[in-house]
């Protein structure tokens, strides 16, 4: 199962999952209609406000979740939290109820339920809530600044990427996790981790660089 297939990491996940020998069928859940021409693809258009209506389609071994928005796109803190916390938790709860074993989710570097930063606090609370659901395995990935071609222009992010690339040669040791990371590397790391024996639940961006090689 894949949620968030139209985002930066989600698009990379979709390409790789459809051609990964571990998966014979990839169920893609989307808010808007999308045509995916592949023998291993099954597309499901859903309403995230009434997601339980689609619960009968929530069968599978692994659920990859790359749902997320930005404060600018959402327009308010409440709207942002609805996507990055409520939607993610609703997906996870229904997946767990339908017998899904592993839940693999994109969070953020610095996620912390006790942070004074609203974005990082929301991500941290999402992580903490997921860990209480009782999946056989939870995998939480915390990428740093993502590199890749987005559909929308994010000026603030572009500025951050510019300065991060300037500082990249000096980011080693404890600073390694702050290096910018390519979306395709994150996607590859998520799939690789899902198919390895479980070691832990949270993987920082520097570790994703290793698993996504």
State the distance between the two ends of the chain, measured CA to CA, in whole angstroms.
Answer: 23
Out of 123, 177, 182, 188, pick the active-site residue. 123
Q: Does an H or E element contain 17, and which?
A: helix 8-18
Q: How far apart are CA 60 and CA 65, in angstroms?
A: 13
Residues 6+ apart with CB under 8 A from 73: 152
Q: Is 119 a catalytic residue?
A: yes
Exposed, middle or buried: residue 90 (CB in 10 Å: 0-12, 13-18, 19+)?
A: middle
In sequence order, which ranges of 62-198 are alpha helices (DSSP H)?
71-74, 77-81, 88-97, 118-130, 155-167, 183-194
Catalytic option among 15, 82, 101, 119: 119
Give strand pairing partners of 137. 102
Residue 101 among the catalytic residues:
no
Give the integer Cα–Cα distance in Å for 103 and 101.
7
Q: Report the catalytic residues.
A: 119, 123
């Amino acid at each position: 199962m894949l949620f968030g297939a139209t985002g930066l990491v989600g698009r990379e996940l979709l390409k790789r999952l459809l051609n990964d020998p571990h998966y014979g069928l990839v169920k893609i859940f989307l808010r808007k209609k999308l045509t995916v021409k592949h023998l291993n693809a099954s597309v499901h258009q859903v309403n995230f406000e009434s997601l339980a209506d689609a619960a009968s389609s929530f069968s599978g071994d692994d659920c990859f979740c790359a749902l997320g928005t930005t404060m600018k796109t959402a327009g308010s803190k409440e709207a942002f939290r609805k996507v990055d916390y409520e939607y993610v938790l609703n997906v996870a709860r229904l997946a767990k109820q339908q017998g899904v074993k592993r839940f693999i989710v994109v969070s953020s570097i610095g996620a912390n339920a006790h942070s004074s930063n609203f974005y990082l606090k929301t991500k941290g609370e999402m992580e903490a809530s997921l860990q209480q659901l009782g999946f056989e395995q939870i995998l939480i990935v915390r990428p740093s600044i993502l590199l890749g071609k987005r559909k929308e222009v994010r000026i603030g992010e572009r500025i951050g990427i510019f300065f991060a690339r300037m500082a990249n040669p000096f980011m080693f040791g404890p600073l390694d996790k702050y290096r910018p990371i390519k979306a395709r590397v994150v996607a590859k790391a998520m799939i690789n981790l899902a198919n390895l024996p479980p070691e832990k639940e949270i993987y920082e961006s520097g570790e994703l660089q290793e698993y996504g090689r």
